[in-house]
Structure 1
């Protein structure tokens, strides 16, 4: 069960979401840095394809944001980053709870089998 497609996919999602949170924090920290280009973490489309193929494991990628730049060459949009952070936190919590629920089910099954 720990190597199931679901567990692997949830673990990959947690890795991608954690990287996204770090990337958002870096973007926000550089909101006023001239010529800083915001970054985006991508993994959902590849994760969906991996799950459909029965694999479930993917690595996230970091790409440059295509947001328009301001006069100082910076393209960090604080509103976009804030909304993305809220979305990422909620997704992370959901995935962590789902993985925790799988572990609890496994622990319960092991306990019943040994009783």
Structure 2
């Protein structure tokens, strides 16, 4: 029903941010797991490129293992980094939700006349 560029872009951004939140939670859950490498989610550059091409729905969400140095046990999860990333991701998610709500608010206003 809502296949306009704005709606698809907002949906893609929310999907990417939700995936990042899940990966951050996984990283924190495995902070003491020997040999665990933190995951990193990237989608913003791909989404930007896809929006410029007019097809935001084609933007991939990629998850890669961090190449940051590891501790003696082979784990490279940094709790400070994960907490800050989680806060940043949460704020971005709230912003996208607000944009989505505002978009639907405009549609409601137009429909009501």
Fold in common (TM above 0.5): yes
String of CA shifts for 1:53-103, please: whole Å, max 9, x gaps: 111122311111111111000010111111100110000000010011111
Which portions of structure 1, spanning 4 or more consecutive aligned residues, are displaced by more than 3 angstroms?
A: none
5+ residue gaps, structure 2: none
Counterparts of residues 80-95 of structure 1 (less than 5 Å):
80-95=81-96
1:6 is matched with: 6
Q: Distance in 2 between matches of 1:59 and 1:101?
A: 26
What's the RMSD between the two structures over aligned residues?
A: 1.2
Shift of the alpha carbon at 1:3?
Answer: 1.6
Q: Distance in 1 between matches of 2:31 and 2:102?
A: 38
1:44 is matched with: 44
**Matched length:** 112
